[in-house]
Structure 1
Amino acid sequence: MVFQIKSLIRYLRVNFAYIQRNAAWALTNCACSPHEICYKIIQYDDLEALVECAAETDGETRDQVFWALGNIALDCPTCQEMVQSSAALPLMIDVLISPMFIRSKWIRNLIWALSQIIRGGIRTLDIMFVRAALTGLRPVLYLEDSKIKMDAIWAILLLIMLVIDAVLQTPALLERLIELLAEKRTMRAALRALGNLVAGNDAQTQAVLNAGLLPRMMELFGPMMPINQKHEIMWILSNIAAGSQRQIDLLFETNDIVEILIGTFYNDDHRIRKEIGWTVINALTGASENRSRWLCASNVLSIVPHVLNMHAEHDLIERTLDAIELLIEKQINYFFILENYQIMEALRQIAQNQNNCYDMHIKMWYGRSQEGVPQLQQRLVLDVVWVVPGDIRKYYLQPKAFYMFSEDLQQDEAFQN
């Protein structure tokens, strides 16, 4: 096999398209072989030969080379890093932005290979190439081929992890991603890309909201939507709720949002319930005083006692405790609303549980008077007192989080060869 691979490398440098194409085809198949064989391609400097061949050829030969590079990058993390460190990506991007390439029948393999090479993120790509890649990928999103569009969206998603602003500054790219929510095959990829944009800073999140994400996304939401897509949407909502007060207002100004959150919470799986819990608790923690009153007057508080019963979600429960404390600090009368929604009862059950791991936060006490809290209220409800270590306590929302490429995406159609 060593001799064959070395021979194929020599054939790549023969200035005859038929020989080069067949050598690239053979190496593409070698890259699908066990790791030991694929790794020998790198050992014998085949990456350099492949890139040189792609730079000097076009059409089917160059297309076959790009396919080989994508397969090599898929083999293992080390192989992917070696491809990323080569001149392959700048060359691919240069081809992608060629004015006539968008009409080429060879575009599919280039987009696919590009998404494989940068899969999982890449920190070594110069911002100049990132911007060029986004410019080249944008027109691909207008093609009729759903598979190519899906691969292009995943590539954009990976570039988002490098620099969100470059995506937002690419003309019409954000708006097109929102439009692609309406297409069945591209919806999940578009949701993931838009979700990672929303996970940026407040200004970046606001830019996505200004483009009309919320009404469009929630217009498409429905009970028959696949679980994975529902989960993506609720993850996006939880990140919006972790934003500024204006963003929380925009979220709850969306038509029927409270009814959607409540109805989905009671009818879907644990992952979705958890994201809805984060949405509500983030909003209760970060909302303005007026929005806090609005939230307490809505039925959204009915979710909170159920969140407190998600015993495995310790971070979410701790944030819920913080949110309840903040509400009571804002307005003591919220205490009675919380009691009406059985939230205080849920807190008592946590405090009285022998396995309670939240002792740093709460303790039960009887009969002692606390300034500003009526004695009768304490006696009737076994008032919850917050134990705060130190004099200062900061309140943090659930951190906005990017979705990385882990096992849940390895089965996605977009990443299959």
Structure 2
Amino acid sequence: MTFSLKIGSPYTGIWERTQSRVFQLLSDVFLIATFMIDKLKALSSETMGGFYVEAQEFGIYQAIDWISREETSFRNRVNGVRRIRKIIEKGKADSVIRLGIVSRLAELLEKTKNDEIQGEIIWTLANIAAGPSRHTKLIMNKCTEIFLSILKATKSIEVKKNIILAFGNIAGDNAGFRDNLLNAGVMSHCLTLLSELNSLEAERNYLWLLSNLCRHKDPYPKFMQISECVPILKAYLDHSDEEILNTACWSFNYISHFERSAVLDKDTISKFVKLLSHQSKKIVASALVVCNNVASETVDEIQMLVDCGILKELPKLLYIKDVTILNRVFILISYITAKGITHIQSLVDNNILEDLINIFKENGDYKQEILYLIKNLICNGDENQINYALSIGCIDILFEGLIMSKEICVNLAIESFLNLIIEECNFDINIYVFKDIAKRLLDFQNNKNQDIGKLVRAYSKKFLY
């Protein structure tokens, strides 16, 4: 309906005033609405991480509607799940979870039999599980049984790969979540997937899941729940892919902390010794961790490493310019020197002690480690081995240790000299050198370590008075 008023009509003024008031009222309403919207945006920014803006930008409410309605078309349902996943990938998982998305997706996942929708939903849930523990726990509690049910029924490789990814994120979070998956039978179900892996990426994710199921301590996993995967992990030690090799090495590292027998057969140890000559420093460093775990126990275990040829690899490793590798090599040698005469002789026969002396002179970063090795040798070696060590320059290193700024280096040198004096063996040391040692040690008779100070006072005076 339209109104037309002639100019000069008595109603013209009334209409103009009414029109003006209506426009003013609408203007006021607009200003109030704008103000309220700004306030809501600010509030949303504080309480929902800015999700108010994101919800409009990405159409999250439309996506929720698409995945919730029974009559939604197949394509819209897929697009709805994808839209939710993209929002999560932009760091908005908290805001999405507050809207009850996980329960809706879990419900849809349980109902649908379509591979494409299943794959999209599981991918989305796996991304949520990759977040903080509270998100991971939510996925674990709501979806573990659903994932296992689908894993048994589906023939889709893509769906299975996404389930592997989700389980890997859950198991990797902490020991409690790992045990929940193991108790649910995830390990045995996943072992059946090995023959179905159709890409390098799938193999990487698969091995990563197995590794996470063996990972974490306090508590360690029960070996009976993971023992089935050990042969698979062992087979992967011969793989050509660096990432897979590294994951396999770390898996054995986890297991060797609580079930050493799983890696203590000669064939497996030989594989790790072989990896010490790998072209990748990352693989060498990872293999050294397992070798050190083996060497940290008994003389027999060190002998197994020696029999597998580890002493032939150590001289090459000493000259690799990599801090992590060198530190682990020194730890390994310290285990060998701490286990007695037989294995110290192996170091002598392979000229490793001479290499250590050269490194001490050339590289100031590892003097503490080498002083520790010399102390072990003097404490545990026989007369001939100690004389050999002194003849190639160890005594000069110990003298240098006495004047170092680090207290631990000084104490290592003092303890080494005290052991030489206390033993009273036929060392190839001139009596005047012994007297010089005794004089220098007297400077430390008031050492902070009272036991060291007491020994210094007792044995130094023996050579001086």
Alignment of 1:282-297 (within 5 A): 282-297=376-391
Q: Is the 8 A contact 2:175 2:216 kept in 1?
A: no
C-alpha separation in 2, matches of 1:11 and 1:288 = 73
User: 1:299 and 2:393 equivalent?
Assistant: yes
More helix by share: 2
- Assess, with a 3 A threshold, how the Cα gap between structure 1 residues 36 and 164 changes in structure 2: closer, same or farther: closer
105-114 or 13-22, which deviates more: 13-22
Please state how far the C-alpha of 1:120 moved relative to its aligned partner.
3.5
C-alpha separation in 2, matches of 1:378 and 1:80 = 64
- Secondary structure (helix, strand or coil) at the match of 1:45 reads helix
Q: Is the 8 A contact 1:141 1:149 kept in 2?
A: yes
User: 1:361 and 2:452 equivalent?
Assistant: yes
Alignment of 1:328-407 (within 5 A): 328-331=421-424, 334=427, 336=429, 340=433, 343-351=437-445, 356-363=447-454, 373=462, 377-379=463-465
Partner of 1:410: none
1:100-119 superposed Cα distances (whole Å, 9 cap, x missing partner): 46876421101122223433
Alignment of 1:150-169 (within 5 A): 150-169=246-265
- Secondary structure (helix, strand or coil) at the match of 2:264 reads helix
What letter corresponds to residue 47 of structure 1 in structure 2?
T
Partner of 1:32: 130
Q: Is the 8 A contact 1:160 1:196 kept in 2?
A: yes
- TM-score, structure 1 normalization: 0.75
C-alpha separation in 2, matches of 1:296 and 1:188 = 31
User: 1:180 and 2:266 equivalent?
Assistant: no
What letter corresponds to residue 141 of structure 1 in structure 2?
L
Please state how far the C-alpha of 1:191 moved relative to its aligned partner.
1.4
1:252-295 superposed Cα distances (whole Å, 9 cap, x missing partner): 2213x22211122233354x332222211111111123323333
Please state how far the C-alpha of 1:47 moved relative to its aligned partner.
2.8
Aligned length: 361
C-alpha separation in 2, matches of 1:338 and 1:228 = 41
Q: Is the 8 A contact 1:73 1:83 kept in 2?
A: yes
- Assess, with a 3 A threshold, how the Cα gap between structure 1 residues 365 and 327 changes in structure 2: closer, same or farther: closer
Alignment of 1:59-98 (within 5 A): 59-75=157-173, 78-80=176-178, 82-83=180-181, 85-92=183-190, 94-95=191-192
Quick one: which of 217, 230, 250 aligns to 1:134?
A: 230
Alignment of 1:108-257 (within 5 A): 108-121=204-217, 124-128=220-224, 130-169=226-265, 172-185=267-280, 186-222=283-319, 224-255=320-351, 257=352
C-alpha separation in 1, matches of 2:457 and 2:331 = 37
Partner of 1:46: 143
- Secondary structure (helix, strand or coil) at the match of 1:362 reads helix
C-alpha separation in 2, matches of 1:77 and 1:268 = 41
C-alpha separation in 1, matches of 2:230 and 2:432 = 52
Partner of 1:18: 116
- Assess, with a 3 A threshold, how the Cα gap between structure 1 residues 176 and 351 changes in structure 2: closer, same or farther: same
Quick one: which of 347, 356, 363 aligns to 1:268?
A: 363
Please state how far the C-alpha of 1:318 moved relative to its aligned partner.
5.3
C-alpha separation in 1, matches of 2:301 and 2:416 = 25
C-alpha separation in 2, matches of 1:107 and 1:337 = 64
1:352-406 superposed Cα distances (whole Å, 9 cap, x missing partner): 5xxx31233334669x997xx5xxx414xxxxxxxxxxxxxxxxxxxxxxxxxxx
- Structure 2: tracts of 5 or more residues without a match: 1-96
Partner of 2:59: none
What is the root-mean-square deviation in Å for CA atoms of aligned residues?
3.3
1:58-79 superposed Cα distances (whole Å, 9 cap, x missing partner): 6222221121122223445654
C-alpha separation in 1, matches of 2:431 and 2:224 = 53
Q: Is the 8 A contact 1:12 1:53 kept in 2?
A: no
C-alpha separation in 1, matches of 2:334 and 2:460 = 37
1:103-145 superposed Cα distances (whole Å, 9 cap, x missing partner): 7642110112222343334755444455432211122122221
C-alpha separation in 2, matches of 1:188 and 1:141 = 14
- Secondary structure (helix, strand or coil) at the match of 1:182 reads coil
User: 1:278 and 2:394 equivalent?
Assistant: no
Please state how far the C-alpha of 1:20 moved relative to its aligned partner.
2.7
159-168 or 52-61, which deviates more: 52-61
> Larger Rg: 1 or 2?
2
Q: Is the 8 A contact 2:445 2:457 kept in 1?
A: no
What letter corresponds to residue 115 of structure 1 in structure 2?
S
- Structure 1: tracts of 5 or more residues without a match: 380-417
What letter corresponds to residue 442 of structure 2 in structure 1?
R
- Assess, with a 3 A threshold, how the Cα gap between structure 1 residues 67 and 269 changes in structure 2: closer, same or farther: farther
Please state how far the C-alpha of 1:25 moved relative to its aligned partner.
0.5
1:26-78 superposed Cα distances (whole Å, 9 cap, x missing partner): 11111233443333223x33233334433444622222112112222344565
Please state how far the C-alpha of 1:184 moved relative to its aligned partner.
2.9
- Assess, with a 3 A threshold, how the Cα gap between structure 1 residues 259 and 7 changes in structure 2: closer, same or farther: same
Q: Is the 8 A contact 1:28 1:68 kept in 2?
A: yes
C-alpha separation in 2, matches of 1:15 and 1:74 = 28
Q: Is the 8 A contact 1:304 1:343 kept in 2?
A: no
- TM-score, structure 2 normalization: 0.68
- Assess, with a 3 A threshold, how the Cα gap between structure 1 residues 141 and 357 changes in structure 2: closer, same or farther: same
